[in-house]
Structure 1
């Protein structure tokens, strides 16, 4: 802990060209994977509030590296996205430890309380922010290389086999809590998802940078309507079909009743925002089809969470929501086997 604190103070002092005594740690809290700190830098003219994430390196090290690479690359490219400004992003390949220092917006923004969804005014801002990221990086030549991984054909085959096996183990452990009918839907989704998207992924056709974990609690919503919204926690970012983020946020995390009320409105807003953002090779029909395909892709999420020993109160509701979204959007007609 003391070494992490010293490293933090030294890195921030170097970045802002201040003495270490001008840095005050306001609050620190330790999570399963990281030490989170809120600090204040006292300059000659101002106080600068900062948010700091220090990952230990013994859990999800590759995901932590993804986040560091994301902020580093965005900063190098000078791309303006709805994310907090990054001041320090460091990763140690030997230890897997990382250090991320961002602007702290907790005084002007808030996160909605889990598991409550945001009010619709905030949902619309979130969708527009997501679309801004997707439009800014739509078919970017760096996708799959400098930023955002893309699975190879071998990866795709391995994933399909892995999740088929995971489904068998999951079904066995759940016993009568997981019906044969639901198991059949899950297996059909696993068997058909990659055939629906593999050519797009391999050819980088109409792909963008997806957040990969874009639930409502990874947005910082402004307390004042004039402020911008921010997207945080980029450890899972990858190159993918943009609708994956929306299907994850709405199709997997909302109750059926709320989703049915607002789903098409938000999908339409997402599409319109892409077009306004400069995407000109994407039709509404393709967007709607992509969303339905992305809903099929959500069946992997609760299986991965169970496999990763995530507590059941996270993944258990996802099972029902994934099946209901699949049925409501008539995704079965997209399946070929």
Structure 2
């Protein structure tokens, strides 16, 4: 099969013969003789299914017994808006996953249509690992695991001007791009704070609106360092096996940007404010230590903590844009998630005086 045959829109098109070809192309010399599937995840921008595989006699142990197949969903106008996200995720697995030290599911196949409206990923099934939950928070041990994993993404591409050589992506916003992002942020903030005003309270509304106003000029404070960043590195996009292993998924927002944005976004939204206040310096130090172990030079831990403060606009930015422009139908569960993330991010911004830092 050429790559176009590995792109599907319907789980019914994932046949034993299709999976046999995909797995063999990915390095597993097995024959799939039967499949069954069920949906997994909530699918904000795509849909995913777990496929249970029956392998031919004699092939047991030579290939996976299940995989996750992720594909595009929705009407053409929805896909048109999301095609950059589709390109990013396929591109990450094809271009960067093998060079990064971040732990991710093994990718058996990653294909994108020429018009970028359709894509299909065949990924390692991390079951029984469980996705984190923004509302429930995570343990401090899980937070430490996640930020050390994050360092494995940032370190290999740290201030590397060749990171995008040979590709016309991922995005790297210039001054004009940041200005446009600022307009998107202020528009999203106006709608988000109106929609959730009762749940936020006046202090958080004020913090969110002021934070959005600073996005356009954010580049002035975040131009000294860059790397490949996830862009949406949060609990719901992490698969935990207890407190010992984690895998990062959903690479649709990957870009070249200030690494402190990923760090701040995760820590400010993953932990309740009291837990974050008690442990954030130690957690930032753990992230920094892993960067050093991976070879990042001349980066003192105090500067790393300053970058954490500088990255704190990422929390309200992604939360508000995600809520306002989501393609999925609004639900009570999603509302609780967005409110939790916004409230936690606002508390961190106030605790660390980020608005004053980024407006000086």
Same-fold call, TM > 0.5? yes
Residue from 17, 20, 34 that aligns with 1:13: 20
Q: Compute the displacement of 1:74 (Å).
A: 2.6
Out of 130, 147, 154, which is 1:110 matched to? 130
Per-residue CA deviations over 1:21-49 (Å, capped at 9, x if unaligned) read 72432422175431412232626432423
Which residue does the alignment assign to 2:207?
185
Match of 1:304 among 305, 321, 329: 321
1:29 aligned to 2:52?
no
Distance 1:111 1:286 in 2: 31
Q: Does structure 1 residue 238 correspond to structure 2 residue 255?
A: yes
Question: Which secondary structure state, in structure 2, belongs to the residue aligned with residue 25 of structure 1?
Answer: strand
Name the CA shift for 1:78/1:232 in 2 (closer, same or farther; >3 Å): same
CA contact (8 A) 2:68 2:125 kept: yes
Name the structure 2 match of 1:97.
Answer: 118
Q: Match for 1:212 among 199, 212, 231? A: 231
Verify the 8 A CA contact 1:110 1:221 in the aligned structure 2: yes
Cα distance, 1:270 vs structure 2: 0.5
Q: CA deviation at 1:224?
A: 8.8
**Among 29, 43, 59, which residue is 1:45 paired with?**
59
Change (3 A) 1:317 1:2: closer
Structure 1: gaps of 5 or more residues:
none
Deviates more, 1:139-148 or 1:89-98: 139-148
1:255 Cα deviation from its structure 2 partner: 1.5
Pick one of 187, 196, 205 that aligns with 1:165: 187
Change over 3 Å in CA distance of 1:53–1:9 after alignment to 2: farther
C-alpha separation between the residues in 1 aligned to 2:170 and 2:54? 33
Cα gap change, 1:40 to 1:170, in 2 (>3 Å)? closer
Q: How far does residue 120 in structure 1 lie from its aligned partner after superposition? A: 2.6
By how many angstroms is 1:169 displaced?
Answer: 4.0
CA RMSD after TM alignment: 3.1
CA distance in 1, matches of 2:349, 2:140: 23
Name the CA distance, whole Å, in 2 between partners of 1:2 and 1:236: 22
User: Does 1:66 find its partner at 2:88?
Assistant: yes
Distance 1:91 1:9, change over 3 A: farther
Distance 1:208 1:106, change over 3 A: same
- 1:334 paired with 2:351, answer no
Q: Give distance in 2, aligned partners of 1:10 and 1:94.
A: 26
Who is 1:155 aligned against?
Answer: 177
Q: Establish whether residue 280 from structure 1 lines up as the match of residue 290 from structure 2.
A: no
Q: Distance in 1 between matches of 2:84 and 2:139?
A: 34
Instruction: Rate the CA distance shift 1:24–1:232 in 2: closer, same or farther, 3 A.
Output: farther
Distance 1:45 1:244, change over 3 A: same
Displacement of 1:304 in angstroms is 1.0
Match of 1:130 in 2: 150
Calculate the TM-score normalised by the size of structure 1: 0.84
Q: 1:262 to 1:19 in 2, by over 3 A?
A: closer
Q: Given the two structures, how large is their TM-score scaled by the length of structure 2?
A: 0.79
Structure 1 residue 238: Cα displacement: 1.5
- Give the Cα–Cα distance (whole angstroms) in 1 for the partners of residues 324 and 308 of structure 2: 25
Q: Would the alpha carbon gap of residues 51 and 325 (structure 1) be closer, same or farther in structure 2, given more than 3 Å must change? A: same
